[in-house]
Amino acid sequence: MQDESLEDWLERVDQDYLAHISLDCVVFGFHAGQLKVLLLKMKHEDRLALPGGFVMKTETLEEAAIRTLRERTGVENVFLQQFCVFSEVLRSDPATRPDDLRRIGISPEKASWFAQRFISVGFYALVEFSCVVPRPDWLSDTCDWYNLDERGPLILDHDRILETALHTLQSQLNHQPVGYNLLPRKFTLPELQKLYEAILGKKLDRRNFQRKIFSFGILRSLDEKRTGVAHKAPYLYSFDLRKYQKALKGGLQGGW
Q: Which domains does the chain have, with CATH numbers?
A: 6-172 (3.90.79.10), 189-250 (1.10.10.10)
Q: How far apart are CA 198 and CA 201, in angstroms?
A: 5
If the chain, 256 residues long, is cut into consecutive pieces of 10 residues, what is the mean pLDDT of each piece? 67 88 96 95 88 95 95 90 93 66 69 82 96 89 92 92 97 91 95 96 95 95 83 90 91 77
Q: What distances in angstroms separate CA 122 from CA 22, 105, 212, one per listed residue?
A: 9, 26, 31
235-239 and 17-31 beta bridge pairing = unpaired
DSSP state of 61: H
* pTM: predicted TM-score of the whole model, two decimal places: 0.89
What integer pLDDT is reported at residue 2 of this predicted model?
55
What integer pLDDT is reported at residue 112 of this predicted model?
74
- Of the candidates 169, 173, 181, the one whose C-alpha atom is nearest the C-alpha of residue 77 is 181
Residues 202, 161, 128: CA angle, nearest 5 degrees: 60
Q: How far apart are CA 188 and CA 222, in angstroms?
A: 10
- Indicate the helix (H) or strand (E) that contains 29: strand 17-31
What integer pLDDT is reported at residue 13 of this predicted model?
82
